Amino acid sequence: MAVAQYRVSKSGCLTLPVETRRRWGIAAGGTVEIADLGDAVVVVPTGREGLRSMLSQAIAEADGYGPLARRIVASEPDLT
């Protein structure tokens, strides 16, 4: 997993890198869904069965948000 920092413009815009747009099929004018998890933000391309559905399923399968977060951090140490 690639992790990078990006600056938000004065108008609040954030540019997704071209590699990310290509990988996820986000064309010019495309949309994404953003979830504010309190201590993290998740960005998902629109149309991938819906962000709320994806997050709900992942949280349910992990028996809650806490266990899911711990599992992700254990497998992705760059996120800590």
Confidence of residue 1 (pLDDT cuts 50, 70, 90): low
Could you tell me which residue, 34 or 47, shows the higher pLDDT?
Answer: 34
Ramachandran area for residue 15 (φ above 0: left; ψ -120 to 50: alpha; else beta): beta
Q: What is the pLDDT of residue 17?
A: 85
Could you tell me which residue, 54 or 66, shows the higher pLDDT?
Answer: 66
End-to-end CA distance of the chain: 13
- CA 26 to CA 14: how far, in whole Å? 14
CB atoms within 10 A of CB 40: 10
**Residues pairing with 33 in the sheet:** 44
pLDDT in tens, 30-46: 888 887 777 778 888 88
pTM assigned to the model: 0.53
Contact of 42 with 55, CB cutoff 8 Å:
yes
